[in-house]
Structure 1
């Protein structure tokens, strides 16, 4: 895939998602996905407003806002958590998700197989839900209902770890990291997510993060010197928590890095890895909170906001045209 091909075939996708799917189309990873939630939708609007391009992206903003309206109004009522009820709710919910403007936009923007499924997450007190959109090559895409089936089984049997391993394999994560992550003792002083980001903790400025989103700050000020450690390459995608020091994860990350460097500027590739590392660090540190959440758009600097813009727009910004 050439730079021209990447920015035309994947140019409509949000930058972070386009860069994730390059390695899918290249065959380095099996699949990629994104959860459509408040953080994702807010990022789309905030990024466009930051570059003062509302008029240029008026139609895009209407699509995002309409998706947010529908997302906020959805209320799935399940009488009891039986297999039959969960399947019925999944099919009804998926019919709605397939009609979301954002789902339709992502399907048009990806050249091969793209579909949405409901994702159920069981906690001790409740079962939450939301849409997840998957991206695969046409010749290697699973049946959407097989993902739903695995998810429902995990909810009914309270085996979240098994579903995490299953979903991780769909994304092409190393088996060694998946096994360690799912078998880790979550009652220990340092959970598996926190242990995963410990090797990169010294490269991340907690004071900058504590100050909140600031579009005048660069990600290089928040995640500084990351590439001084080979562990940087293990963070080739957000929300994958590699085993500390895992050579398999590093090699996979180097493959992804080299693939991306062939199609976009290396500065953009490095920012992508910085973003993944910073995102995982923030998420890992928040998981012990009552209401953990993903990093707010712009928390990791202005390049974090740029990552929500379409790849065709981001790749034309001065920072990424200097090479």
Structure 2
């Protein structure tokens, strides 16, 4: 089995996401550039039992993490012009990070980084997101940034959430569902994962390589609605047939090029990630899952596909 698109330079999770895009099953995907992205890859590359030499790659990741941590963004006033000018300077700094050059050089299709803004009350938060698209009809980076800035200034972030969901190829009905939030009901994140909570063994979470995803998430794709979890941090409406159909299509496409055991783990890890995010939201915390929190396969998710495919589980 071989992939028809060369995504082997990416971490496995991003390679599978991108393959679904490049084969036309999704419009696009993205990577949040943050500490989790860097530390996950560094841990995986330094702890793989392999003959491959990753010294240069780990050095570039360390350089990139330092460069990202050294970026400090300040804005004097919350206007569209000020946000745009600050974003342009911020983006120039992001584009100088070695990892961005690495991704741009190694991702088939279209790859770009843009600043990402969020607002809670009067407080402004910033980050960075790398988008990956096929060659046909990719959005313009400035258009993505403009949509984000306008939503911040106009206090209409839901508009940008919808736009962003469409960029990722999520069904419109699930985007509607995700935006249906009321103070007196559980979050859409929790409502999405709740039907599967009996598949999670909470006691096995956070044990790192001592546990397998088998110990954390029991049999998952025996239920048709499990196929709806075709992307991490995508929260499908329970029972959504459109999401299930898209997920089944992605499963079949990936399984035609990769061992089915890897593809099954991909869906379980997507769901496990969503469960951890939903649990954090449900309890009022703001925390993304740490690499390995779902077991050793979760750490392997950050290794290149060739290394993942070399372990006995996937051979």
> TM over 0.5, yes or no?
yes
Gaps of 5+ in 1: none
Contact 1:260 1:269 (C-alpha < 8 Å) held by counterparts:
yes
- Map 1:129-168 to 2 at 5 A: 129-168=126-165
Contact 1:213 1:296 (C-alpha < 8 Å) held by counterparts:
no
Q: Cα distance, 1:53 vs. partner?
A: 5.8
Which residue, out of 181, 185, 189, partners 2:185?
189
Q: Cα distance, 1:194 vs. partner?
A: 0.5
Q: What secondary structure sits across from 2:210 in the alignment?
A: coil
Q: Cα distance, 1:228 vs. partner?
A: 2.3
C-alpha distance after superposition, 1:287-322 (max 9, x if no partner): 14554111110000100000000112212222111x
Structure 2 CA distance for aligned equivalents of residues 243 and 97 of structure 1? 35
Alignment length (residue pairs): 315
Q: What secondary structure sits across from 2:236 in the alignment?
A: coil
Structure 2 CA distance for aligned equivalents of residues 135 and 29 of structure 1? 11
Q: Cα distance, 1:232 vs. partner?
A: 1.0
Q: What secondary structure sits across from 2:233 in the alignment?
A: coil
1:86: which partner in 2?
83
Which residue, out of 278, 289, 292, partners 1:295?
289
1:179: which partner in 2?
176
State the TM-score, normalized to the length of structure 1.
Answer: 0.94
Q: Cα distance, 1:216 vs. partner?
A: 2.2
Q: Cα distance, 1:172 vs. partner?
A: 0.5
Contact 2:187 2:282 (C-alpha < 8 Å) held by counterparts:
no
State the TM-score, normalized to the length of structure 2.
Answer: 0.96
Structure 1 CA distance for aligned equivalents of residues 129 and 208 of structure 2? 28
C-alpha distance after superposition, 1:233-259 (max 9, x if no partner): 000000100001111100010000000
1:42: which partner in 2?
39
Contact 1:114 1:135 (C-alpha < 8 Å) held by counterparts:
yes
Contact 1:200 1:231 (C-alpha < 8 Å) held by counterparts:
no
Q: Cα distance, 1:154 vs. partner?
A: 1.1
Structure 2 CA distance for aligned equivalents of residues 160 and 148 of structure 1? 13
C-alpha distance after superposition, 1:142-175 (max 9, x if no partner): 1100000000011111222111110000011000
Gaps of 5+ in 2: none
Structure 1 CA distance for aligned equivalents of residues 275 and 107 of structure 2? 29
Q: What secondary structure sits across from 2:209 in the alignment?
A: coil
Contact 1:120 1:129 (C-alpha < 8 Å) held by counterparts:
yes
Distance 1:54 1:157, change over 3 A: farther
- Map 1:1-323 to 2 at 5 A: 3-6=2-5, 9-52=6-49, 56-182=53-179, 184-209=180-205, 212-289=206-283, 291-321=285-315
Q: Cα distance, 1:5 vs. partner?
A: 3.3
Contact 1:30 1:140 (C-alpha < 8 Å) held by counterparts:
no
Structure 1 CA distance for aligned equivalents of residues 132 and 158 of structure 2? 22
Contact 2:44 2:303 (C-alpha < 8 Å) held by counterparts:
yes
C-alpha distance after superposition, 1:74-130 (max 9, x if no partner): 110100111011000111111111111111111122111111111111112521111
Distance 1:91 1:132, change over 3 A: same
Contact 1:32 1:171 (C-alpha < 8 Å) held by counterparts:
yes
Contact 1:213 1:297 (C-alpha < 8 Å) held by counterparts:
no
Structure 2 CA distance for aligned equivalents of residues 152 and 54 of structure 1? 46
Q: Cα distance, 1:227 vs. partner?
A: 1.6
Structure 2 CA distance for aligned equivalents of residues 288 and 274 of structure 1? 20
